[in-house]
Structure 1
Amino acid sequence: MEVAVVSVSQGAIGFVIAKLGDLLAGKYKLLKGAKGEIMFLKAELESMRAFLERMSEAEEEPDKQAKLWTNEVRDLSYDIEDSVDEFMLLVECVGTNLVISA
């Protein structure tokens, strides 16, 4: 599993990317087609993380729009983490004997 670090500048994106990696690793039985959606979400989050890193490393003060986007992306990362946690818990509660298919 990828090392995830929570920072003020990046929010929970590192944790979410690591959790999505766990989902893709096959530990969870997923709905047909879910792996493709998870891969898409993971790629989008990696892009968002790159944006947050760039904003935190910027030598100049970001403009107002960049600050707003930074805050929105960071807040969204926490919401996404909550949703992924709920999904993982639901799948674990269903049990490994039940095969989920579409």
Structure 2
Amino acid sequence: MAWKKAKDEALTILRQRAKRCDPITYSELASKISAAQMEPHDPRLAHFLGEISTGEHEGGRPLITALVVHKHDLQPGKGFFDLSRSLGYSFIDEIEFWSEQLDRLRAQWK
């Protein structure tokens, strides 16, 4: 139950950010989720974000977790791109793919 509540909290935060196309760091997102405590480098956070992306993908929406970025380079982690490929996306240039996802988010949530 806490896991689902945490995902609902994260989706609310990410959808608010998507409306402004405003990325959020892993650490900031983790700190804003009260239903489940996770650290930014916690493997559960990667799994958690993967579940959110999978749900969005299955709903025909862009990968909202494209908004979640590292503090040091303001880009998503390797797991985002690995998951994207596992969901059937095909791309060579990761930054270009990420940029396209951000554009799709902007159009979806404006």
TM-score (norm 1): 0.28
User: Which of the pair has the greater relative contact order for Cα pairs under 8 Å at 6+ separation?
Assistant: 1
TM-score (norm 2): 0.26
